[in-house]
Structure 1
Amino acid sequence: MRVDFAPLFSAITEMVDLQAATDAGGVFLRMMQSVVRFDDVVVFAYRDKERPLDLFSTFDAGDHEVFVSLYQAGPYLLDPFYHTARQGREGLFRMRELAPDRFFSSEYFRSYYSQTRLSEEVGFFVPLDGGITVVLSLMRREGTGVFPAGEFAMLGYAQPLVSAFARRAWPNLGAQFDGTLGGGARGRRAEPASAADRVWRKLNLTEREAGIIELVLQGHSSESIGLRLGISTGTVKVHRRNVYRKLGISSQIQLLSIYLQNLER
């Protein structure tokens, strides 16, 4: 795709003049449209284990239900972008770079992510103060195909500008997160228990069992889990069998179903 410099410079001017986040997403959209081709944009803010904030998106009502409302209800907890954001990493990443080794064959992928019908998703990760990371995602649908190497390289050149813009556009997200939690508290904020933590407690899983099963649902193989946790593959499989027996299930699809059902309660 040829760069369209007139709208690009216009969007950059809007970035420089931006005083508040009222149209920050729209400014970002216009700048990216002048550089690469894509189908949709969504911008989320993440903090610790909390429900992500929806800062901007371009979806119609039906797609908004899948990409935003349903995502915020619980599936975000299994999203590679969510886990990368919690690590505070900065940069531009393709989803497939961040996904666990069995992500694209996982029940999470088949049951939720495949509903998005995306060919590829890339994200600008921008850490802010207060343990918050803003992720500005560009999505290409199945009919559009993945981002070509040249366009992805162009996005890489834009990454420092996007990071500077996001820090200017969304400077007070901590207050928004606090508002969703009831706000008003001062002093050090304790890390909240996530919806997933509550599910594991409700299902009476030990901390080790919960850690392993969460990685299973994210799409990690037993080998990958063993490497992450510093235990043998055999030990991982024993814990997994014990959880399946405790829950009275025999497959990952049943595990995901129980997980999602308990998230909704």
Structure 2
Amino acid sequence: MRVDFTALFRTLADWAGAPESSDRQTGETLLAMMRALVRFDDIVIFAYHEKARPIDLFSTFDADDHHVFVTLYQAGPYLLDPFYRTTRAGRAGIFRMRELAPDRFFSSEYFRTYYSQTRLAEEIGFFVPVEDGVTVVVSLMRREKTGVFPAPEFALLGDAEPFVAAVVRRAWSGLAGRFAETGQGRGRRSEPLSAADRVWRKLNLTDREASIIELVLQGHSSESIGLKLDISTGTVKVHRRNVYRKLGISSQIQLLSIYLKNLQS
């Protein structure tokens, strides 16, 4: 795809001349800028803060896709999303989903039960930390019919990353207050535990069991979990068997079902 410089410079001129803008106006600016650079099917912009439910700032989905990509996602699956986990690690820059996904992500029940519904060939995210632990992620998505982003287009997006970050920081510098308004901000006495933490407490899992099961659900193998937690693969398997016995289950799909059900209860 050739860069549409006319559309790009027009978009940049409009952005530079605007004293301030709404979520939608900023989203439209980023949409126009990205479309001038590369081909993609949809864009979605989320703000993340610690374990709080992400805020949907902008998207281009129709009603059916909005239900899958936003409504269902915010209900709990975001906690297992590699993009969300990357914001928790405090990373910044542009990444392909497959760079961030655990080693068993594409065979995990999370992938089969939720992520496969998106029918994406690839997702690329710009990760922009803004303030007070809040990170904004601008996600560009290509469906299966469109295919993955070619290397030259990904490189072009990498060149654009500093400007994307500047647009995001200029528009969304007060998001920590918006999380606080929804009762999800830091220091809220009425919500001392995250949704995931409450599930593990309700299921009577120990902290170690909860850490292991979260990584299982994210798509990590026993070997990967052992490396992340600095324990042996055998110890991981023992904890996993104990959790399955405690919950009366025998498969990962049952584990995911219990997890999502308790998130929504």
- TM-score tier after normalising by the smaller chain length: over 0.9
- Aligned counterparts of 1:14 and 1:87: Cα–Cα separation in 2: 34
1:138-189, Cα deviation, whole Å (9 max, x unpaired)? 0000000000001001100000000011000111111111111188x9xx66
Counterpart of 1:142 in structure 2 is 144
Q: After superposing the two structures, state which structure 1 stretch, 14-23 or 161-170, moved more.
A: 14-23
1:111 corresponds to: 113
Runs of 4+ in 1 over 3 A off after TM superposition: 188-192
* Superposed CA offset, 1:232-251 (max 9, x none): 00000000000000000000
Provide the aligned C-alpha RMSD in A: 1.5
Identity of aligned residues (%): 71
Please list every run of 5 or more consecutive structure 2 residues that lacks an aligned counterpart in the other structure: none
The two structures have a TM-score, normalised by structure 2, of: 0.96
Which residue number in structure 2 is paired with residue 129 of structure 1?
A: 131
User: What SS class does the counterpart of residue 140 from structure 2 fall into?
Assistant: strand
* Aligned positions, number: 262
1:97 to 96, 99, 119: 99
What is the rounded CA distance, in whole Å, between the counterparts of 2:192 and 2:179 in structure 1? 12
* Equivalent-residue separation in structure 1 for 2:166 and 2:192 (angstroms): 29
In structure 2, the partner of 1:244 is 244
Say if 2:52 and 2:184, in contact at 8 Å, map to a contact too. no
User: Is the 1:101–1:224 contact (alpha carbons within 8 Å) kept by the matching residues of 2?
Assistant: yes
Partner SS for 1:34: helix
Supply the distance in 2 between the matched residues of 1:176 and 1:168 (Cα, whole angstroms): 16
Specify every segment of 5 or more residues in structure 1 that has no aligned partner in the other structure, as ranges. Answer: none
Aligned partner of 1:83 in structure 2 is 85
- C-alpha distance in 1, partners of 2:67/2:177? 25
Distance 1:156 1:217 in 2: 30
Tell me what 2:69 maps to. 67
2:172 maps to a residue whose letter is W
Alpha-carbon offset, residue 252 of structure 1: 0.3
- Give me the whole-angstrom Cα distance separating, in 2, the residues matched to 1:126 and 1:205: 34
Q: Could you tell me how far apart the structure 2 residues matched to 1:198 and 1:15 are?
A: 43
Are 1:49 and 1:193, in contact at CA under 8 Å, matched by a contact in 2?
no
